[in-house]
Structure 1
Amino acid sequence: MPIKENLLQIKSQLPNHVTLVAVSKTKPVEDLMEAYHAGQRIFGENKIQEMTEKWQQMPKDIEWHMIGHVQSNKVKYMVPYVKLIHGVDSLKLLKEINRQAVRWRKNVDCLLQIHIAEEETKFGLDENELEELLNSEEFKKMTNINVIGLMGMATFTDNQEQIKREFDYLKSLFNKYKSLKTDTSDSELAKQNCQLNTLSMGMSGDYQLAIDCGSTMVRIGSSIFGSR
């Protein structure tokens, strides 16, 4: 089935409050443009160099999301244009994003990645690390990043009960911390760099279950563009 039909079929299944990130990693610009002409404006990539090359070639009303693991020394290449960084899993990385954002005089939205899977290969913070980060003085002083939510990837398994448990756990953390707002200034116009309103979980194989568990953003690639 062509990309346009795949995309429109998936969009028809998504509630209005759920944002679709079309995961376009490894796919050629021609495929992305087919999705673009079908109305898709949010694309997710997992390699900064590839995302930058596509950004340079494609229309500038596209919202680029970095969905892969990020190395601190590569942050500077994407900060000028990236809209949302999904996989922020350390205070060190957050500091570098903020540093580059200050340099470019812009704000960058981020999601904190939580380790919910049983697989050790997955990255992410545990709950203690999440709480420590959000309550740290260093974080509270960051003026050019906005932590807008949490993300997580479930275990790669056919066990739906396990996946549901992992999604439910991430939703419980989201509910626990979403009332936390961090001021970065004492002025009347204090900017808040932590306002959790986005819960990113669910991919091609489990996005319907993720939505049932409270996801507000899904990352779908192969169901749109075909297998890699």
Structure 2
Amino acid sequence: MIKENLEYVEKNIRKACEKAGRKREDVTLIAVSKTKPVSDIREAMACGITVFGENKVQEIRDKTAEITEPLSWHMIGHLQANKVKYLPGVACMIHSVDNRKLADEIEKQAAKHDLVMDVLVEVNMAHEDTKFGLSPDEAIDFVKEISTLPHLNIRGFMTIAPYTEDPESNRVYFKGLRELKDQVNSLSIPGVHMDTLSMGMTGDYEVAIEEGATFVRVGTGIFGERDYSKKA
């Protein structure tokens, strides 16, 4: 099933890139493996997938302890500052930076490991009460504020668009995030040049690609529905 699902997702990614006049290599598929067992991840690896996304620090720690092959692991879920210490050297990017306390802790832990952590600033484009992230109006000032932290490399923005039956209804949010990125780049903030937009999930990744996504986060579309009653 995973192999067939990946072939279907890949076909759709290529189609969306073609429609938008973009190169396929400009879009990275993140296979969101949260709650899924290592056996599923290995099945995806056998199909050539090397980039995986996890929502919980404990899961990313457990899975990277068992899977020692060189993969790119992305922390895409809400992150508490007290869990950051487990991520340097494990996650290659943190997608969900949305407050100064968290940014300061990433700075502190990255400095301890003598590395620079790639991060994305999470923006709640649809102003949903149930989601984390800064409002679009706060995002640029926040980027300026944390741009002085030497062990953070602010690569771009991430958003989680509303769940919808109509992917087209999320186009406005993806377009808005791209425009926000372009606005930041036009300001020439020292040390900041954004090249990354993490947006689009199983239900709307094609529209996200058409609007400039460089990372699409697909879980259910690859691994099937999740059973949250079971531990991974």
Question: Structure 2-normalised TM-score?
Answer: 0.88
Partner of 2:18: none
Determine whether 1:169 maps to 2:176. Answer: yes
Matches within 5 A, 1:48-67: 48-67=57-76
With a CA cutoff of 8 Å and minimum separation of 6, indicate the structure with the bigger relative contact order.
2
Q: Deviations over 1:89-118 (max 9, x none)?
A: 112211110110000111111010011124
Partner of 2:79: 70
- AA partner of residue 151 (structure 1): M
State the 1:195 CA deviation: 1.9
Matches within 5 A, 1:52-201: 52-136=61-145, 139-183=146-190, 192=191, 194-201=192-199
CA contact (8 A) 2:75 2:91 kept: yes
Partner of 1:186: none
- AA partner of residue 206 (structure 1): D
Partner of 2:43: 34
Identity %: 42
Q: Greater CA deviation, 69-78 or 209-218? A: 209-218
Q: For 1:113 and 1:102, locate their aligned partners in 2 and report how far apart those are by CA, in whole Å.
A: 22
Partner of 1:225: 223
Secondary structure in 2 matching 1:156: coil
CA contact (8 A) 1:115 1:126 kept: yes
Partner of 2:19: none
- AA partner of residue 217 (structure 2): R
Cα distance, 1:158–1:5 mapped onto 2, change above 3 Å:
closer
Q: Deviations over 1:28-52 (max 9, x none)?
A: 0000001011110000000000110
User: What is the alpha-carbon root mean square deviation over aligned residues?
Assistant: 1.5
- AA partner of residue 97 (structure 2): V
Q: For 1:169 and 1:13, locate their aligned partners in 2 and report how far apart those are by CA, in whole Å.
A: 23
Partner of 1:209: 207
Q: For 2:178 and 2:189, locate their aligned partners in 1 and report how far apart those are by CA, in whole Å.
A: 20
Q: For 1:4 and 1:62, locate their aligned partners in 2 and report how far apart those are by CA, in whole Å.
A: 18
State the 1:54 CA deviation: 0.2
Q: Greater CA deviation, 27-36 or 127-136? A: 127-136
Q: What are the ranges of 5 or more consecutive residues in structure 1 without an aligned counterpart?
A: 184-191
Q: For 1:159 and 1:40, locate their aligned partners in 2 and report how far apart those are by CA, in whole Å.
A: 28
Partner of 1:11: 10
CA contact (8 A) 2:30 2:53 kept: yes
Q: Deviations over 1:109-165 (max 9, x none)?
A: 1010011124211111123322222222xx243111111010111111224453111
Q: What are the ranges of 5 or more consecutive residues in structure 2 without an aligned counterpart?
A: 14-23, 227-232
Q: For 2:109 and 2:121, locate their aligned partners in 1 and report how far apart those are by CA, in whole Å.
A: 18
CA contact (8 A) 2:198 2:216 kept: yes
State the 1:180 CA deviation: 4.4
Question: Structure 1-normalised TM-score?
Answer: 0.89
Q: For 2:84 and 2:70, locate their aligned partners in 1 and report how far apart those are by CA, in whole Å.
A: 21
